[in-house]
Structure 1
């Protein structure tokens, strides 16, 4: 499925080489010679702190995703239109009946901002990181709000 905010990407030889290095068969490599879709996923801080599994850039994850909703506040704190680029929200507490999305983590960024008690406009800071840890520190008076994660997953033809 491709939305206005997903980007189809044809796999590069480096992805195929990485699969071979990891012991992938030629069939597995051919399966990756398909169109891939980049998804932007929001993961709220409490999802990870409650029972999340830490992950790293270039690792494989299997998440149940739901449509992005209630992320407009990110535009208030970051002031850059990021909410419109978010395709889904990772939510392992919402009872989603969607099948797990298996994907490779392309990038991870932490998001911190001020809350008094609502998110403060323009107070957001997005920091690229290599690993999403279960517990993340605040940055001074900016509280850790969550992760913005970019995933790469095979395109599905489900309609």
Structure 2
């Protein structure tokens, strides 16, 4: 079975271990609401995300799932304050995100900055 897992860059950069295709990882997986990713990915690709990786508190009581990484697709998008907003909070820019398949090690404290990534198992 192949799953699509959303992996937030900040989770991996904070205290995650880097991963690449062929690695075996053990993560706590939480169900997702596709609407949470629609602004970044678009509605159709967001509906393809099966789970998200979590290791900062919300995963309590869930056993980690071990799986082999088949491929990694990084997603980069710009964030900006929407025109006319008064709260000055950055949101995903509604332009098309940039996707590319990564063959290098992704995530971890020593990784370069990426906006977000999703990994396919």
Number of residues of Structure 1 aligned to a counterpart in Structure 2: 108
Counting only pairs closer than 5 Å after superposition, residues 3-152 of structure 1 correspond to structure 2 as 37-69=1-33, 72-79=35-42, 81-96=44-59, 97-116=61-80, 117-130=90-103, 131-134=105-108, 135-137=111-113, 144-151=114-121
Q: RMSD between aligned alpha carbons? A: 1.7
Shift of 1:73: 5.0
1: distance between equivalents of 2:45 and 2:96? 14
Which of 1 and 2 has higher RCO (CA within 8 Å, sep 6+)?
Answer: 2
Structure 1 segments, 4+ long, off by >2 Å, are: 71-80, 133-137
Report the equivalent of 2:87. none
Deviates more, 1:102-111 or 1:120-129: 120-129
Please list every run of 5 or more consecutive structure 1 residues that lacks an aligned counterpart in the other structure: 1-36, 138-143, 152-159
TM-score normalised by structure 2 residue count: 0.79
TM-score normalised by structure 1 residue count: 0.62
1:57-95 deviations in whole A, cap 9, x for unaligned? Answer: 0111111111113x5353333336111111111001124
Shift of 1:45: 1.0
